[in-house]
Amino acid sequence: MTRLTVNGQAHDIDVDSDTPLLWALRDTLGLMGTKFGCGIAQCGACTVHVDGQPVRACALPVGAVGDKHITTIEGLGSDDALHPVQRAWVELDVPQCGYCQSGMIMAVAALLQDNPSPTDADINAAITNICRCGSYQRIRAAIHAAASQRVSGIKTP
C-alpha cells in the first residue's frame, strides 16, 4: 500500500511503486483532469503541484512522492470558485481543444505563486508546456491578467 495525499485527502492505494504518479491519479484515483501527453516530461500536460512546486507527473514514480502534498486541477479551484488563473483563462477564451490546459493552468498557478508579476521573459522561461493548438498568445495575455488581478472586464488580445 502506498499513501498519497491528493487535494487534501489521504488515499491508500495498491499500485507498483514504479507507477508514475500520473497513472495513479488517473487510473487508480479516477482524477482525469491531469493528462497524458508524452510520458517523458516533455509536454507538461500532466503538470501537478507537489508541495506547491510544479511537477510533471508522468515521470515521477509514486514511490518517490512520500508524504508530500499533491494538488491536481480538480483541487485548484471549484466550479463555483475558480482559481484566478482559471478565471483569466475563461475571460480570455484561452482553450481550443483544451487537452493541455489543465497542465498549463497548473504550471501558471505555480509560477504566479512564486513570482506574482512575471515579465514576458519570466513567462518564457517558466512556461514550457506544449499547446499543439497554439493558444500561446492568449496564454501570455491571461497570465498577465491573472497576475494583475484584472480578471474581470479585461479585453481579449
Structural contact between residues 147 and 112, judged by C-beta atoms closer than 8 angstroms: yes
Can residue 123 be called a binding residue for another protein (CB under 8 A)? yes
Query: Least separation, in Å, of the C-beta of 116 and another protein?
Result: 19
Gap between the Cα atoms of 8 and 51, Å rounded = 11
Judged by CB under 8 A, the stretch of 4-12, 49-57, 111-119, 138-146 that binds another protein is 138-146
Gap between the Cα atoms of 69 and 71, Å rounded = 7
Can residue 13 be called a binding residue for another protein (CB under 8 A)? no
Can residue 9 be called a binding residue for another protein (CB under 8 A)? no
Query: Least separation, in Å, of the C-beta of 66 and another protein?
Result: 19
Burial of 134 (0-12, 13-18, 19+ CB in 10 A): exposed
Strands (E) located in 7-73: 9-13, 47-50, 53-56, 69-71
Can residue 82 be called a binding residue for another protein (CB under 8 A)? yes
Angle, helices 136-147 vs 84-91, to 10°: value is 130
- Pick one of 134, 148, 149, 150: the residue that binds another protein (CB under 8 A): 134
- Pick one of 6, 43, 70, 147: the residue that binds another protein (CB under 8 A): 43
* Binding-site string for another protein from residue 85 to residue 114, where x marks contact by CB under 8 A and - marks none: -x--xx--xxxxxxxxxx--x---------
Indicate the residue among 2 and 129 with the shorter CB distance to another protein: 129
Can residue 144 be called a binding residue for another protein (CB under 8 A)? no
State the sign of the Cα–Cα–Cα–Cα dihedral 113, 24, 5, 31. Answer: positive
Query: Least separation, in Å, of the C-beta of 24 and another protein?
Result: 8
Question: Hey, what's the cell of 44?
Answer: 507538461
